[in-house]
Amino acid sequence: MNLFLYLQITDSPEEIKFSNPIIASLKEHQKELMIHDFDNHSDILNLSYINKLLNDSDSTLIFIDTNFNSNFSKLMPFFTNLLDNPENIKIILRGNNPSLEKMISILPHSKIPENTYGLEQIVQFFAKIF
């Protein structure tokens, strides 16, 4: 199974965007891809499910949308799992979060310019990675 995870890290739950053109486009054009989204305010059950998907996947691409200095401590079990099992995982980071960047620095990752919010630009960026 190939997995795409979309992770939003925000300061408050009110900032979470529930409609996402990236996910909609991938669902339309990548039917064989397992797609799931979550955020740093997700409940423990959802985070457990994400870790199970991560462990069961053959290949994983994680798109992290973050704000500067947003707290992601609730996601530590997820990041610990990533660091313990880094095989076949690629990360795309949009936004600046020095603590997060330091944590994922040992994992294969790319940084997309923070001002890249157009779907076309993001799809072009994905095309370079796949």
Q: What is the pLDDT of residue 68?
A: 86
Separation CA 73–CA 40 (nearest Å): 8
Question: Greatest CA span in the chain, whole angstroms?
Answer: 35
Q: What is the pLDDT of residue 23?
A: 82
Read off the pLDDT of residues 86-111 as tens digits, 9 standing for 90 and up: 999 989 898 889 999 999 999 988 88
Q: What token pair was written down for 80? A: 């610990």
Is residue 52 packed enough to be buried (19+ CB in 10 Å), middle (13-18) or exposed (0-12)?
A: exposed
Read off the pLDDT of residues 33-77 as tens digits, 9 standing for 90 and up: 899 999 999 999 999 999 999 999 999 999 999 988 899 999 999
Separation CA 89–CA 45 (nearest Å): 22
* CATH class given for the domain over 2-129: alpha beta
Domain positions in the chain are 2-129
